[in-house]
Amino acid sequence: AQKITQTQPGMFVQEKEAVTLDCTYDTSDPSYGLFWYKQPSSGEMIFLIYQGSYDQQNATEGRYSLNFQKARKSANLVISASQLGDSAMYFCAMRELLKGGATNKLIFGTGTLLAVQP
């Protein structure tokens, strides 16, 4: 079965510094996709970035980038120049094909709570 592991329950970072949030995954499928979501204290789930297993380059979206190391099965999220508004829970997720191939579900990690300090 596929699994996502986030080993950092909580992290602190100083404003304007970069921070890396860890995510490791386990799958036997050669084709997979990894997503990062942000959940601020208001509760909504906000999609940040996607990395496909066959993508040649690490994904980037503004201040977010993915450090994708396929051999290590890791997909760490890097946030550059942290802002106070980055304080939130961050979830790593992997898509898993549902039976019949109708669609995918997301397998989530347990999340990392990031606090950005001024």
Partner 1 sequence: DAGITQSPRHKVTETGTPVTLRCHQTENHRYMYWYRQDPGHGLRLIHYSYGVKDTDKGEVSDGYSVSRSKTEDFLLTLESATSSQTSVYFCAISDGVSNQPQHFGDGTRLSIL
Q: Are 105 and 89 in contact, with CB atoms under 8 Å apart?
A: no
Pick from 91, 94, 114, 116 the residue near partner 1 by CB under 8 A.
Answer: 91
**Contacts with partner 1 in 8-67 (CB under 8 A)?**
33, 35, 37, 43-45, 47, 50, 52
Going by their DSSP bridges, the two strands 112-117 and 10-14 should be labelled as: parallel
How many Å apart are CA 101 and CA 118, to the nearest integer? 47
Choices 12-20, 66-74, 80-88, 99-107; region in contact with partner 1 by CB under 8 A:
99-107
Cα(90)–Cα(93) distance, integer angstroms: 10
Q: Which stretch binds partner 1 (CB under 8 A): 10-18, 20-28, 74-82, 104-112?
A: 104-112
How many Cβ atoms from other residues are within 10 Å of residue 5's Cβ? 14
Number of residues that bind partner 1 (CB under 8 A): 25
Compute the least distance from the CB of residue 53 to partner 1, in Å. Answer: 10
In one letter, which amino acid is 20?
Answer: T
Interaction between residue 110 and partner 1 (CB under 8 A)? yes
Residues in the chain: 118
Nearer to partner 1, 45 or 81 (CB): 45
| Burial classification of residue 103, based on how many CB atoms lie within 10 Å of its CB (0-12 exposed, 13-18 middle, 19 or more buried) | exposed
Interface contacts to partner 1, rule CB under 8 A = 4, 33, 35, 37, 43-45, 47, 50, 52, 91, 93, 95, 98-100, 102-106, 108-111
